[in-house]
A and B are shown apart, each in its own frame.
Chain A
């Protein structure tokens, strides 16, 4: 069965520090992978996506993610976190023949001044 695991429910980092949010997926074929961010009371905003090709993908707001097939991972990174990055982050996998996205449980990022 397809699934997405985000092992860290809550992460706190200091402003200016680097960030890595973990995502592991279970999917039989080549996955279509996404990272979304949700600010309180808001919908989901797409940060980046991986369909194929270069395994390091760049997104908006200075985020990047690396697809590692051998580890079934798609971790999100940012070299220097800003206070405005505090939000909830969701990793998702999309099945190739449905309109369904399977989401992880999310990671809440808190940024310390």
Chain B
């Protein structure tokens, strides 16, 4: 099976712009979670989607949003970019509802640089 894929792999934006990142889960997986990784804050949970519904959300401002499509593919959007949004954004998929009850498999990430 193909693993989790994320596009694009690298992105450069300027402050104030918006960005959309895409994640395709492993075939058959219905849950997608997103994480932000920065040197200062480490890995932080953004949100989780299961069957097109957001189940959980981390402590991030409303500028961060996401959605999931009927084929389980997910997108996350960041509006009004700030310098502090520069990070590696990781997507993870699992068969069921994720977290403690399922193993999450991670994609290679999208490296976002905000100038």
Name A's B-contacting residues (CB within 8 A): 31-32, 34, 36, 41-46, 49, 90, 92-106
Contacts and interface: CB of A to CB of B under 8 A. Distances in A.
Interface string B74-99: 00000000000000001010100111
A100 B43 contact: no
B99 A97 contact: yes
Given A99-B56, A99-B94, A100-B33, A43 B106 contact: yes
Contacts of B35: 101
Given A32-B100, A45-B106, A46-B105, A100 B42 contact: no
A95 B6 CA distance: 25
A92 B104 CA distance: 11
B103 A100 contact: no
Given A43-B108, A44-B106, A98 B42 contact: no
B70 interface: no
Given A32-B100, A90-B43, A106-B42, A100 B58 contact: yes
Interface of B: 4, 6, 31, 33, 35, 42-43, 45, 48, 50, 55-56, 58, 90, 92, 94, 97-101, 103-109, 111
A96 B33 CA distance: 15
3 A-B pairs closest in CB distance: A99-B48, A99-B98, A94-B100
B44 to A, nearest CB: 8
Contacts of A103: 42-43
A95 B90 contact: no
